Amino acid sequence: MPDELRSPVKHHLVLHRIDPEQGIRRFCSLMIERDLFGTVRLVRNWGRIGTTGQELVEVFPDEIEAGQALEKIAVAKRRRGYRDL
C-alpha cells in the first residue's frame, strides 16, 4: 500500500506489566479495525498473561477519534506501570 494511502493512526498496541514480587503478569491489547460495514471499532482486550482475558468493543465515527481514545487508554496504562511490548 502506498504511504499516502496509509492512515497516520497507530492501529495496534500491546502493553504488558510484569512484577514477579507482586505476582502481576498482565497484558492489554488495543486495536483499531473496520468491520465489514465500514464501522470503526476500538477493540480492547486485557487480562492475565496466558489467558484469553476480557474484551470490550467501542464504536467511533472515524479513525482519528478511535486513535485519540487508544492513546488516552495507553497513557493511563503506562502511568500504572505497563510497558510497550
pLDDT tens for 30-42 read 999 998 888 999 9
Q: Report whether pLDDT(3) > 50.
A: no
What DSSP string describes the chain?
A: --GGGS-SS--EEEEEEEETTTTEEEEEEEEEEE-TT--EEEEEEEEETTS--EEEEEEESSHHHHHHHHHHHHHHHHHTT-EE-
CATH number of the domain encompassing residue 78: 2.20.140.10
Q: Is residue 56 part of a domain?
A: yes
Which pLDDT does position 2 carry in this prediction? 45
pTM of the prediction? 0.84
Handedness of CA 85, 53, 31, 80 (dihedral sign): negative
**How many residues are given for the chain?**
85
In whole angstroms, give the CA distance from residue 13 to residue 39.
Answer: 20
- State mean pLDDT over 14-24: 96
Amino acid found at 47 = G
Q: Is residue 49 part of a domain?
A: yes
| Residue range(s) defining the domain that contains residue 48 | 15-84
